[in-house]
Structure 1
Amino acid sequence: MTPLGPFDFQLVLLRRMADFQPGLVEDALRELGVGRDRMREANRRWQAMARSPRRGGGALGRYRAVLGPPEETASRRVGDLDCHVHRWPVPLWPDLRFEALAVPGGEVWHETLARAPGAPGPALRTVEDLTPWSCTLDEAARAYAPARPLEGSAPTRWCLAFTAREASGGERPVVAEFSWGLLQRLLP
């Protein structure tokens, strides 16, 4: 069996998104030239790797083993915590990068898709601009500030509550759900 690689990691990301956007995931699988079985197998192997007691290096070691060396590593201060940001390209979404934020010592405390440095983000003005896969969690939080983070239904899922203008001119409360940091849907 060949080791998991960057191509397979995209399938792992898509597997979680299939719960929300099966049509977009089907389109992506066609673009990648694979079927649902390959996606499920990549996810099964990823989960086994993540849960393996023999696997050293923690999450950061797992990402390096599957994705290779990061395209970029930078320092970032989050509150009073100094951390390292490791970024890898995700060919399916060329304007995004997979980011792993790690504290000194290598423990990963946040994993997400984020806009690539220098890539233009979407114009987010109204609730109608919030379409599936159109923006990242950070972009929505900035565009619709003040936004309140909410716990998601799984470790790779997050929600964001905020008020957004409608194209008609009114405003309404919104809860947006994200998987791996990419917008999936607005909750009723």
Structure 2
Amino acid sequence: MVRVPTGRRPPEPFTPLHFQLVLLRRMADHNPDLVEDARRALGASAADLREAHRRWQAMLRSPRPRPHGPERREGALVRSVLGAPESRTPRRVGDLDCEAWQWPLPLWPDLRFEVLTAPGGAVWNQWLVRAPGAAPPVLRTVADLTPWSCTVEEAARAFAPARPLQGSAPTRWGLALTAPDAHGAPREVVAEFTWGLLQRIAVGDPRRP
């Protein structure tokens, strides 16, 4: 039987460039100007960003069976796009021995994309963290908490004790913390993060019970 060509091209491979666009898509809700600059630096259009997000969501929701089961799908997808991790580090979380996988991303050379995997390979967490050996930001006052300046862990450490807050989406986190203002007076703020990177702060803590 002869197959008649349909004229449809095979889908373009999903590359690390597309993955970075996926991260930017979520950040655009809070910092469209920063995202636009980053998108242009990657040589991508606004349509490319939207299409990358659409394809990633479609891959996550694909009903096709995968060799490691649905609970490991996202970790397998990240590896299929970014390749083998730059590092795989054992990590203890409570009573469980886990593993942290990290990949470099050209858009944020001082950061790494980290996936925390549970025993068996299920993904527990994924976000941006400071790269090993990279200088951490100096965080002393509220004014230092600027968009994209720090990660969740860095803000929590600089202004301990910080209280975790549930984010509005799986890729978002919040921290309620107290930081001094320019005059040294303590200010309660909520720091909001997307993919582990600071996006904005709000003065006061509207989610305090």
What TM-score comes out, normalization by structure 2 length? 0.88
Q: Secondary structure of 2:52's match?
A: helix
Q: Secondary structure of 1:27's match?
A: helix
Which of 32, 35, 46 is the aligned partner of 2:42? 32
1:69 maps to 84
Establish whether residue 122 from structure 1 lines up as the match of residue 132 from structure 2.
Answer: no
1:150 maps to 165
Distance 2:87 2:19 in 1: 18
Equivalent AA in structure 2 for residue 148 of structure 1? R
Q: Secondary structure of 1:99's match?
A: strand
Change (3 A) 1:184 1:55: farther
Shift of 1:79: 2.1
Which of 114, 124, 137 is the aligned partner of 1:99? 114
Q: Secondary structure of 1:8's match?
A: helix
User: Contact 1:49–1:55 (CA<8 Å) still a contact in 2?
Assistant: no
- Gaps of at least 5 residues in structure 2 are 1-10, 204-209
Larger Rg computed on CA atoms: 2
1:11 maps to 21
- Gaps of at least 5 residues in structure 1 are none
Q: Secondary structure of 1:145's match?
A: coil
Shift of 1:187: 2.2
Q: Secondary structure of 2:154's match?
A: helix
Q: Give aligned pairs, total.
A: 188
1:51 maps to 61
Distance 2:21 2:15 in 1: 10
Which of 93, 98, 114 is the aligned partner of 1:83? 98
Deviations 1:8-58 (A, max 9, x none): 100000000000000000110111111110000001000000111215241
Distance 1:113 1:46 in 2: 18
Distance 2:19 2:123 in 1: 17
Distance 1:66 1:53 in 2: 19
Percent identity of equivalent pairs: 64
What TM-score comes out, normalization by structure 1 length? 0.98
Q: Secondary structure of 1:76's match?
A: strand
Q: CA RMSD in A?
A: 0.9
1:141 maps to 156
Deviations 1:112-145 (A, max 9, x none): 1000111111000001000000000000000000
User: Contact 1:157–1:180 (CA<8 Å) still a contact in 2?
Assistant: yes
List structure 1 runs of 4+ shifted beyond 6 angstroms: none
2:176 maps to 161
Equivalent AA in structure 2 for residue 61 of structure 1? A
Change (3 A) 1:46 1:144: same
